[in-house]
Amino acid sequence: MMLTRPQVTQGTLDEWERFAALVEPLDAAQWDTPSRCAGWAVRDVAAHVYGTAHDVKAGTVGSRTPDQEAADHRHLSPTELAAELRAFAAALAPLVASLDDDATWASPSPAPDLTIGEGVLALYYDTWIHADDIRAALGMPAERGDGLLAAVEHVTEQLDKRHWGPASLALRGLPELTVGAAGTADSTRVEADPHEFVMVATGRTPAAALGLDPTVNIYA
C-alpha cells in the first residue's frame, strides 16, 4: 500500500497529538457546535476519539460502541481531553513501536475481523477523519498529508472486504488502487479527489456526487 508500517505506527501517535492540539484551544461555543456526525456535537466527536484511545490502552478496544464512548466522556473540557489523550499516546508509544515485524502486523487484533496492522491503520484513520469532522464543523480547512493517505488505505481495505467493486480508484495525486478484480468488463473506474472519495466512502457526502451507488459507503 501507500504507507509503510513505520509510517502507520508513528503516524497514529502523531495524529493523536494533532488531534489534542486541535481541540485544546476550543471555547465553549465551539465545543458545543453540531457536527456532521448525526447527533454529535464537536465534544462528542472528541469524546469518541478519546474513548477509543482509552480502551486501546486498557486493552478493552471494541467493548463500547462509538455512541457509548461519546456519552461516557463528553463531560471532559477541551483542555482535559487534550491532556489525557496526550498521556494515552505517551503510554502507548512503546507498544506501538514494538509492532515491528511482519508476523505481528499480520496477527489477529482485539478488534473483530482486523489484523494488528489493520487495527493500527483504523486508529490512524479514525483519529484523522474525526479531526476532519471537527474542522468541517468549525469552518476550518481540511488537512491532507499522510492522514488522508491512511484514510484512503483504510477505506480501500474495507471496500475490498465488503466485496465492493470491482473498481479502479484513480484518485488525484495517488497511485492507482484496485478493489476486487479491477480491469474486468464490469469494473468501475472512479476518478476523484482523494478527500472527496473518503467523504463519499464514509457516508459524509452522498455517493451520487461521484456517480456511485450507496453501497460504496463502508458504514451502510
Mean pLDDT of 31-56: 97
Q: pLDDT by residue (tens digit) across 126-175?
A: 999 999 999 999 999 999 999 999 999 999 999 999 999 899 999 999 99
Least confident residue range of 86-95, 191-200, 202-211: 86-95
**For 2-36, what is each residue's pLDDT tens digit?**
899 999 999 999 999 999 999 999 999 999 999 99
Report the sign of the C-alpha dihedral through residues 20, 26, 29, 30, in that order.
negative
pTM: 0.95
* Alpha-carbon distance values, 98 to 124, 151, 174, 192, 195 (Å): 17, 23, 29, 36, 31
Element (H, E) at 177: strand 177-179
Mean residue pLDDT of the chain comes to 93
- Reference 134, options 10, 17, 26, 11; nearest CA is 26
Q: What is the mean pLDDT of residues 65-79?
A: 97
Report phi then psi at 213, rounded to 5: -90, 165
Residue-range domain boundaries for the chain: 5-157, 162-220
DSSP SS3 for 12: helix
**CATH for 5-157?**
1.20.120.450
